[in-house]
Amino acid sequence: MTRVTDLTPTQKAAALVVAVGSENAAQLFSHLSEEEVEVLAGEVARLGEIDTDVVESVLSEVYEQLTGQRFSPSGGIHVARDILTRWKGPKAAEILERIVGTETKRPFAFVRDVDPEQLVQFLKEEHPQTVALVLAYQSPSYAAQVLSGFDPDLQREVALRIAGMGRTSPDVIEKVEAALQARLGSMTRRESTSRGGVKDLAEMLNYADRATEREILDRINEVDPQLAEQVRSLMFVFEDIASLDDRSIQLVIQAIDTHKLAVAMKGVRSDVQQAILRNMSARARETLLEEMELLGPVRRRDVEAAQTEIVARIRDLDDAGEIVISRDSGDLVG
């Protein structure tokens, strides 16, 4: 058990973050710089089980009224991930990777110091499976920059292999690292051996420009339509509605059935609900809230089915140019 006398000021702050819960912690993070959040989240990720007395001592320093509360929270990477996701959404994965990277090394670390354009020139002559393995261990934004530099045929081959990738033998990783290290720089030994898959590919494409995204998805669709649809479905989830501008949200609301929307909103985060409700007229908002109340408990699979249908409609609107799903600022024109 951790004792209060063992905690540094930063560790006490991390204990407080764990004690107040992920949603409240995300609100606290909004008042800090990204550097401060990374330091604090790093402490949360390293924090183990916390003794109740420690929590009370930390809370009493912040707010006397909480000294009577009893908590038995635990930290850990999963807690840090939850907090960061609520604070930064999709960007949380990259922040957590930087944090965890200082504790647990990953394969192909030396690649991160190579300019993306130089890496494109180096990797374009490699086998697509090798390229997929290297990119699967990079941050999504960096991997997207490299992927967008390849010709369309190589993009498709690499994307297919990333999507189909599962666990990779440490021996295979070490051999590939050794071969690349001779030309790219010193090799850093890494231990993680599970990377890649449809989710990783979708995350990479979320950071790619729209032209690269469409080219890759179109070419995957030619080979495996079902896989292409899996990737598309992961690139924009229902909760991402909160990231749309108000005009786009209003168009989405107009395009979907009120009952379907009521089902889809069951159990979603409050910020998502508020983003939708604030873009409705008072009467439409009242109708939707009444519909949600009348529904009562709804099965998770029904909620997910409704959300999937709405996401498909959102993508249709995006493809038709009626709305714009947020992308990197480089995808915008004046």
pLDDT at res. 237: 76
C-alpha dist (Å) from residue 9 to 6, 34, 46, 50, 75 = 10, 18, 15, 15, 16
The length of the chain is 334
- Cβ-contact 43, 11 below 8 angstroms: yes
Q: Please tell me the distance from the alpha carbon of residue 328 to that of residue 330, in angstroms, as a whole number.
A: 5
pLDDT at res. 18: 77
- 25 or 269: which leads in pLDDT: 269
Per-residue pLDDT for 152 more than 80? yes
Averaged confidence pLDDT in the chain: 76
Per-residue pLDDT for 206 more than 70? no
* Fold classified for 237-325: Annexin V; domain 1 (1.10.220)
Per-residue pLDDT for 249 more than 90? yes
Q: What is the DSSP letter of 257?
A: -
Per-residue pLDDT for 215 more than 90? no
pLDDT at res. 207: 67
User: What average pLDDT does range 79-106 have in this prediction?
Assistant: 61
Per-residue pLDDT for 73 more than 60? no
Phi-psi region of 89 (alpha: psi -120 to 50; beta: other; left: phi over 0): left
State the residue for tokens 């930063």: 10
pLDDT in tens, 267-291: 888 899 999 999 999 999 999 999 9
Instruction: Tell me whether domains 109-234 and 237-325 share a fold.
Output: yes
- 52 or 333: which leads in pLDDT: 52
Confidence bin at 331 (pLDDT 50/70/90): very low
Per-residue pLDDT for 325 more than 50? yes
- 102 or 307: which leads in pLDDT: 307
Vertex 107, ends 237 and 162: CA angle to 5°?
40
pLDDT in tens, 162-186: 888 877 788 888 888 888 877 675 3
Confidence bin at 145 (pLDDT 50/70/90): confident
Confidence bin at 106 (pLDDT 50/70/90): low
Residue type at 195 in one-letter notation: R
The neighbouring-strand residues paired with 194 are 167
Q: Please tell me the distance from the alpha carbon of residue 268 to that of residue 256, in angstroms, as a whole number.
A: 17
pLDDT at res. 196: 61
Q: Please tell me the distance from the alpha carbon of residue 188 to that of residue 109, in angstroms, as a whole number.
A: 6
Per-residue pLDDT for 16 more than 50? yes
pLDDT at res. 246: 92
Q: What is the pTM of this model?
A: 0.40
pLDDT at res. 111: 79
What are the start-end ranges of the H helices in the chain?
A: 9-20, 22-29, 34-46, 52-62, 77-88, 92-101, 116-123, 128-136, 140-148, 152-163, 170-184, 198-207, 210-223, 225-235, 246-255, 258-264, 270-277, 282-295, 300-319
CATH 1.10.150.20 fits 109-234, yes or no: no
Which of 71-85, 183-197, 211-225 comes out lowest in average pLDDT? 183-197
Q: Please tell me the distance from the alpha carbon of residue 227 to that of residue 217, in angstroms, as a whole number.
A: 9
- Cβ-contact 14, 75 below 8 angstroms: yes
User: What average pLDDT does range 233-255 have in this prediction?
Assistant: 88
Residue type at 18 in one-letter notation: V
Confidence bin at 333 (pLDDT 50/70/90): very low
Domain limits, the chain: 4-101, 109-234, 237-325
Per-residue pLDDT for 125 more than 50? yes
pLDDT at res. 79: 63
In DSSP notation, 139-203 reads -HHHHHHHHHTS-HHHHHHHHHHHHT--B--HHHHHHHHHHHHHHH---------B--SHHHHHH
Vertex 6, ends 94 and 43: CA angle to 5°?
5
pLDDT at res. 288: 94
User: What average pLDDT does range 220-226 have in this prediction?
Assistant: 87
